[in-house]
Amino acid sequence: MSDTRKLAAILAADVVGYSRLMGEDEAGTARIVRERREAATPIVHAFGGRLVKTTGDGLLLEFPSVVAAVECAIAIQKLMAERNAGTPESKRIVYRIGVNLGDVLIEGDDILGDGVNIAARLEGNCDPGAICLSEDAYRQVRDKVGESFTDLGEKELKNIARPMRVYALNPGSESGVRPPSAPDKQERPHLSIVVLPFANMSGDPEQEYFVDGVTESLTTDLSRIHGAFVIGRNTAFTYKRKQIGCPYGQKT
């Protein structure tokens, strides 16, 4: 019997800085993440979505329509922004979301395959509070969703054979993320920052999640500086445990 497959819109989401948040307040973080997930459930149902599975900090959802998946993602990000209002930045629950249109393998209530993997990799490349789409997903929604998208160009996604064109939007901004305009020659140069991964100096492997959380949290905080360009965490983490040419000869 051949494998059962179908075309589906897949949404993958996870919480930014989850390891750090759990390290600081395990019970409180677990409770708030659960409450936010429950608050988002009616939105998912309203757009015809199905919860495939959850992880500690993540969600995998399936939709019959890409437009529904993206509109649901936008609604969830706006809900999270509202719930975070008045909450200290270090305590906020912020999602990254990836959306892909792809062929999936059906295994009971689960879905598997590259279509799912690409959605997860897109989510991992997102800025906090943003939504990243594959080119296939973008083509379906570009004239149907009232948001502006940024073309991020082709990206190398981990364990995905070929580079993929990625599009992003940020529902938390005033009018979405807009395509970058041509630079003004008189404009002052933007601030560019990369936070290289911190080293675990304790020698205790169980503390690795903490130092990674510090790196991720600092990257998130710096990205909020107006006019700053902050290199994403995925790019920065490629330097983890590599020797770099710093004046002190330290490893990161």
Quote the tokens at residue 17. Answer: 């800085």
pLDDT at 246: 41
Q: What is the pLDDT of residues 130-186, one digit of tens each?
A: 999 999 999 999 888 878 889 998 888 877 778 889 999 987 554 333 333 334 434
Confidence label for 90 from pLDDT (cuts 50, 70 and 90): confident
* Cα separations in angstroms, 114 against 13, 111, 162, 168, 172: 16, 10, 12, 20, 29
Structure tokens at 92: 């906020």
- The tokens 């900090």 sit on which residue? 57
What SS3 string covers 238-250? HHCCCECCCCCCC
Instruction: Give the pLDDT of residue 233.
Output: 56
Do 20 and 210 contact (CB within 8 A), yes or no? yes
Domains defined along the chain, listed by start = 5-169 (3.30.70.1230), 191-239 (no CATH)
Output the pLDDT for position 232. 60
pTM to 2 decimals?
0.66
Weakest mean pLDDT among 28-37, 38-47, 94-103, 194-203: 194-203
Q: Determine the pLDDT at residue 223.
A: 62
Q: Which residues pair with 154 in a beta bridge?
A: 165
Across the chain, what does the average pLDDT equal? 79
